[in-house]
Amino acid sequence: MSWEAIGAVGELIGAVAVLVTLLYLAMQIRQNTDQLAQSSDALTLSRRDSVTASFSRWRQMVGADSEIWIRGSEDFDSLSPAERLRFELIVEELLYAFEMLWQITLDASGRQEVFERQFGVRIVDLMKSDGARAWWSRNRQMYSHRFAAWVDQAIARDNDS
Query: What's the confidence (pLDDT) of residue 148?
Result: 92
Integer angstrom CA distances of residue 30 from 9, 22, 33, 37, 62: 32, 12, 5, 11, 48
Q: What does the pLDDT look like over 3-33, one tens digit per residue? A: 888 888 888 898 888 898 988 888 898 888 8
Q: What is the pTM of this model?
A: 0.64
Measured on CA atoms in the order 49, 114, 144, 80, is the torsion positive or negative?
negative
Distance CA 45, CA 53 (A): 12
Domain ranges of the chain: 44-160
d(CA 115, CA 149): 14
